[in-house]
Structure 1
Amino acid sequence: MSLSIKTPLLESLPLSNRVGTKVWMKMEAMQPGGSFKIRGVGFAFEQHHERGAERFISSSGGNAGLAVAYAGRRLGVPVIVVVPQTSSERARSLLKMEGAEVIVHGESWFEANELARSLQTAADAFIHPFDDPLLWTGHASMIDEVVADGLRPDAVVLSVGGGGLLAGVDEGLRRNGLVNVPIYAVETHGTASLQASISAGQLVEIPAVSGVATSLAARQVCRRAFDVSEERPVIPVQVSDREAVEACLTYLNDHRTLVEPACGAALAVLYGGKVSLAELNNVLVIVCGGSTAAIESLLTLRG
């Protein structure tokens, strides 16, 4: 029993018209829990469960935490999710709806993560939100599906937070012989930790993160994400908070699918013509989703 589902691969005429070439959408927003995270989390969950893990612990009030909670409910395994005080009431409510025990601790994810780690016993498995090879292998399955559906993209556009999606997409491209396909790695101005590392030529931590794309708010990407940027063409791109929010609203009108600003960041690159892609034949964008997205909050953020 797979905890994730095969998601649709759809051609977007609105985005294709804007970009000047065919744009294909991998609709990860349709996954259980609302985001791509269940691919990696589900794969890791199954591996740990088979080895006898009796309880699962995570430290995310967003997409990863909800994926862990969903997996725990499906497999009948108790789950603890530690979230920072900044997590929304909506996120906490969704976690509890999935049956997770929710602990609120600390002013940031880093403090919540430290507490989550301290709770782990020998009988537990810890599910990191983005830095785990099991997660990347699970995420890579989305590229397997894309290729199985007959598409071999000339470029991939995706959002980057901690870098788990980037690492997984890279793994999927590699195992399908697409080793030189460029990846446009999109961050908001306030969360550009990958760009900082690429600019520095080494893995670095930015002093602070800010803005509306809270799912991208990692001060440092995982080591694998930085390594990917040195092993294949990775083009960092930044967008503003407003551009990310506007992209979410335009995307909702165009495709009847609601996503969060973290996903809107990648879409904003296409809607705003931030990069030149017209010379390519097929561009793949990962519509990564957003478990806690709400139209009211987007309208409020737009102002």
Structure 2
Amino acid sequence: MIRVVDRTDIEAAARRIGGHIRHTPSYEVRPGLWFKLELLQHSGSFKARGAFNRILAAAEAGALPEAGVVVASGGNAGLGVAYAASRLGVRAEVFVPRNAPATKVARLREYGAEVHQHGREYAEAYAASSVRVAETGALFVHAYDQPEIVAGQGTLGLELPEADTVLVAVGGGGLVGGIAAAVGDRVRIVAVEPEQAPTLHAALAAGAPVDVRVSGVAADSLGARRVGRIAFDLAVRHGIESVLVSDEAIVTARLRLWREHRLAVEHGAAAAFAALEHAAGTTVVVLCGANTDPATLTAAPAADQPAHAAG
């Protein structure tokens, strides 16, 4: 049975991780449109929030093993866990696909994590990480589908300015689920996914999480094959809307963010901005990650990239 995550969990997470994360700024781009600059978070994305919460909660419960922590990731979740582990003096092993972005793999090693590369997508890295947990007894940190992870990501929701609509990109769903738990039904939440990675969209249509084929320019961060059960339940509970955007729209949005605002975001973060047509009333666009190669801001990548992983 999946444990419900609610605002009480979010508030507890905020108290637990408050001294370890940044309260990232929001600014009004024009009347009625705000950017939440979570790309300025430690490790370059919101994932540090959940990572700190998972590790610190385990430590509080006396359940943090000497073997440390293990996570499977396309990069951002691994970076969040590696950063949190390094700050807390905990050993970290990160399993990523062999085609994970080189910039993310390099940063994982800079944070002191032991990096293992397996397969070509998240599912294969995840399987290898599960074997490692069984071998070592390490604490498993899921990229997006654990209560402590969702609650940690949801602390971002406590920092949002007053708004009618929030646009947030979705991969496995930990962030959008956490925001929904934080703000409840007071705000309209629009979950934005690439057309080539429609995990939540497909789950809502099917009435349950289902496997989908993932590819495209944002697959390294939004490439979950299946949305998390916690996020799905929260999406249904709070009536989250799901919209899809094309790779072309994501690429254009990312370039606009750079050219017009000098914000260097990864494609996954740009997806939320690509859905601006779905804004209604005062709107906050969550720019959730900056783990990207700045050199790619001068040229558009091919529209169909292989799926790397989720998180």
Q: Does 1:209 align with 2:217?
A: no
2:167 and 2:192 in contact (8 A); partners too? yes
Q: Does 1:8 align with 2:8?
A: no
Measure the CA separation in 2 of the matches of 1:302 and 1:95.
24
Q: Does 1:140 align with 2:157?
A: no
- In the alignment, which residue of structure 2 is the partner of 1:53? 65
AA matched with 1:77: V
| Ranges in structure 1 where 5+ consecutive residues have no aligned partner | 17-21
- In the alignment, which residue of structure 2 is the partner of 1:164? 174
Q: CA deviation at 1:172?
A: 0.9
Give 1:89's match in structure 2, choosing from 87, 96, 102: 102
Secondary structure at the aligned position of 1:134 is classed as: helix
| Ranges in structure 2 where 5+ consecutive residues have no aligned partner | 1-17, 303-311
Measure the CA separation in 2 of the matches of 1:276 and 1:5.
27
Map of 1:234-249 to 2, 5 A cutoff? 234-249=240-255
Secondary structure at the aligned position of 1:190 is classed as: coil
The alignment covers a number of residue pairs equal to 280
Map of 1:10-159 to 2, 5 A cutoff? 10-13=27-30, 22-50=32-60, 51=62, 52-54=64-66, 55-121=68-134, 123-146=137-160, 151-159=161-169
Q: CA deviation at 1:170?
A: 0.8
- In the alignment, which residue of structure 1 is the partner of 2:264? 258
AA matched with 1:294: D
Q: CA deviation at 1:219?
A: 1.5
Q: CA deviation at 1:276?
A: 5.2
Secondary structure at the aligned position of 1:106 is classed as: coil
Secondary structure at the aligned position of 2:27 is classed as: strand
Q: CA deviation at 1:66?
A: 0.4
- In the alignment, which residue of structure 1 is the partner of 2:300? 301
CA RMSD of aligned residues (A): 1.7
1:180 and 1:232 in contact (8 A); partners too? no
Percent identical among aligned pairs is 36
- In the alignment, which residue of structure 1 is the partner of 2:187? 181
Q: Does 1:192 align with 2:198?
A: yes
Per the normalisation by structure 2, the TM-score is 0.85
Q: CA deviation at 1:26?
A: 1.4
Q: Does 1:268 align with 2:274?
A: yes
Secondary structure at the aligned position of 1:117 is classed as: helix
1:24 and 1:284 in contact (8 A); partners too? yes
Q: CA deviation at 1:241?
A: 0.9
Map of 1:280-299 to 2, 5 A cutoff? 280=281, 282-291=282-291, 293-299=292-298
Measure the CA separation in 1 of the matches of 2:214 and 2:297.
20
Secondary structure at the aligned position of 1:263 is classed as: helix
Measure the CA separation in 1 of the matches of 2:133 and 2:234.
30
Measure the CA separation in 1 of the matches of 2:105 and 2:235.
34
1:29 and 1:288 in contact (8 A); partners too? yes
Measure the CA separation in 2 of the matches of 1:276 and 1:32.
28
Cα distance change, pair 297–49 in 1 and its aligned pair in 2 (3 A): farther
AA matched with 1:288: C
Q: CA deviation at 1:48?
A: 1.9
